[in-house]
Amino acid sequence: MSRAKISIIGAGNVGASVAFKLAELELGDIVLVDIIEGMPQGKALDLLEMGPISGYDLKIVGTNSYDETEGSDIVVITSGIPRKPGMSRDDLLSTNAKIVKEVTERVVAKSPDSILILVTNPLDAMVYVAYKVSGFPKERVMGMAGVLDSARFRTFIAMELGVSVENIHAFVLGGHGDDMVPLARYTTVAGVPITELLPKEKIDALIQRTRDGGAEIVKLLKTGSAFYAPAASTVEMVESILKDKKKILPCCVLANGEFGIKDTFVGLPVKLGRKGVEGIFEIKLTPEELDALHSSANHVRELCKRVHELGVL
């Protein structure tokens, strides 16, 4: 059986960290693409030289062209400029929309049967751009956001309660921005909802920290944005697809009537398997939660409208 082929467009911190984790899990052969000459080649060689120590046997290639990506099963797109302190994810819209459009065109020409996973911010609008440009069915275009936001929520809850993060399950839906929707009722510690374990004001503070999770790191780093946790979140999605695990993960996908949202890319609970998005898991939401989700979806629609106004699509 031949190995899967995974191409990563953008070999910066996020892309290289994705490659590192994919290699360690031996999920498939890896192609790292970047416009900077020598950089993806150097990182690929470094990862190859880690193989004898970590115990993986893979083909890992770094390149400045898209030829090597031909026939990819999955393409992870991380290309774009990162946030700087004081910037919101939305501030990146114009530059990154143009980059994602060009990258998608080039990827699709070489791998027309691939599954696209977007990581570039502002995430939901970039998934929309890739979907429109690729012409792929909605099952094969998605964005990584909810897995990361849920991981951040779980981290902060574990810190607050002094328990293992492994005991905590969390759901964060909606757009990957300031109006994301962490669902406290569906967030549990060893099966017990956190609403039973923490007072409302403490939960509200943890939700706010989750919403600000990316900005908190940007502020501390001063010269870039988060990459380890975004990379690990992306790899969890890749693994669920390639191993046909059918994990339920919060991902940015095209809603087509689910939760009363139509024709909008937004974070929802998704079953991820070999075909990509194999179903949207419709959980019951309270009117308040549904309102928050709709408000988040409206914000995404506004961003997508701006993409058209900017003449990118």
Active site residues: 176
Q: Is 160 exposed, middle or buried (0-12, 13-18, 19+ CB in 10 A)?
A: middle
CA atoms within 13 A on the CB side of 74: 33
Provide the 8-state DSSP code for 90: G
What is the C-alpha to C-alpha distance for residues 118 and 121, in angstroms, rounded to an integer? 9
Q: Residue 233 forms beta bridges with which residues? A: none
CB distance 120 to 100 below 8 Å: yes
Give exposure, 101-134, as e/b (b: 16+ Cβ within 10 Å).
bebbeebbebbeebbbbbbbbbbbbbbbbbbbbb
Q: What is the DSSP string of 3-28?
A: PPEEEEE--SHHHHHHHHHHHHTT-S
Could you tell me the strand order of the sheet in which 168-169 lies? Answer: 168-169, 188-189, 192-193
User: What would the two tokens of residue 186 be?
Assistant: 């569906």
* Best CA proximity match to 145, nearest among 118, 169, 170: 118
Give exposure, 35-66, as e/b (b: 16+ Cβ within 10 Å).
eeeebbbebbeebbeeeeeeebebebbbbbeb
Q: Is 162 exposed, middle or buried (0-12, 13-18, 19+ CB in 10 A)?
A: exposed
